[in-house]
Amino acid sequence: MAAIQKIPIQTTHLFPILDKLLIELLRSLGDTEWHSPTIAKLWTVKDIAAHLLDGNLRTLSSSRDGYFGEKAENINSYADLVLFLNNLNHDWTNAARRISPRVLTDLLEITGKGYSAHLKTLNPFDEAIYSVAWTGQQVSENWFHIAREYTEKFIHQQQVRDAVGKPGILTKELFFPFIDTLMYGLPHTYRNVAADTGTLITINIVSEIGGMWSVIKTTSNWELTGVENLPSTATITMQPDTAWKLFSKGISPGQAYDEVDIAGDKELGRVALQMVSVMA
């Protein structure tokens, strides 16, 4: 009997939980809170809700229905792809400003159910419709694409919660798979850093909801590793609240530097603060 392949990060079952918490949160907001500024630069709470709706609609249209209304053309670099996505997001959030908070919430509830149901139909190890570009991958498997989508929903809901002062998703169940996925961007962050073979860099997200992740320099590249008996050349320690903001560009590496502790080689350690595990 063939061995059952294990999914490295399982997130499919978490989407309905995250969506339920989102709908409860949005229905609790007052008019002023809907228009509160967020850490997402130019977006208000309402803009983020609209962006989350766009994500549901685009996934159902493209991944489920095979319909691509606007195709990325003349994309010759990562920067070109980011610009294309930013323009899509800008167009949508501007148009959605004519939609009421109640309608946005109702549509998020409806489309979220269809979105979650669709994810369950995907073979985790088939090639995904989109690669996880912030890792440098040209092709990704569905399990990783789904985990990346989970991080998007997590980040944006957390941005709303941060803006209105309502905690709720910084739990082990929801935060750990989120941060575990983001750490797949660490080897790509160090790709151009020269170091001796065996050099180990460790990120330590403290508290019971965090964990430790390391990259090691091999003869040819940097790789995530579970090796625990090697000394780290640099260890970067931070709180979960710093981690989610830093790795989603909510705060800059300079701002984060005052909130983290780097033990060992500080120059090598500071490179980790450059990791951006979102399309930005």
Is the pLDDT at 5 greater than 90? The verdict is no
pLDDT for residue 263 is more than 70: yes
Cα–Cα distance measured from residue 174 to residue 161, given in angstroms and rounded to the nearest whole number: 14
User: 2 lies in a domain?
Assistant: no
Q: What is the CATH number of the domain that holds 256?
A: 3.30.1050.10
Question: What CATH number is attached to the domain comprising 68?
Answer: 1.20.120.450
Please check whether residues 195 and 113 belong to one and the same domain.
no
- Strands 234-238 and 261-264, sheet pairing: antiparallel
Structure token digits, residue 169: 């998703």
Same domain, 193 and 262: yes
Residues 41 and 163 in one domain: yes
Q: Is 146 part of a structural domain of the chain?
A: yes
Q: Are residues 59 and 164 in the same domain?
A: yes
Tell whether 196 and 257 lie within a shared domain. Answer: yes
Whole-number average pLDDT of the chain = 94
User: Three-state secondary structure along 82-113?
Assistant: HHHHHHHHHHHHHHHHHCCHHHHHHHHHHHHH
Flag whether pLDDT at 78 surpasses 80: no
| Average pLDDT value for residue range 120-148 | 96
Per the structure, how many domains does the chain have? Answer: 2
Range of the domain at 134: 12-169
Chain centroid to CA 60: 19
Q: How far apart, in whole angstroms, are the C-alpha atoms of residue 143 and residue 177?
A: 12
Indicate the pTM of the whole model: 0.94
Q: Say whether both 237 and 100 belong to one domain.
A: no
Does a structural domain hold residue 158?
A: yes
Residue 62 in any domain: the answer is yes
Residue 4 lies in a domain: no
Residue 201 domain flag: yes
Confidence of residue 280 (pLDDT cuts 50, 70, 90): low
Q: Domain check: are 69 and 124 in the same one?
A: yes
pLDDT band at 83; cut points 50, 70, 90: confident
- Would you call 154 exposed, middle or buried from its count of C-beta atoms within 10 A (0-12, 13-18, 19+)? buried
Is position 280 within any domain? Answer: no
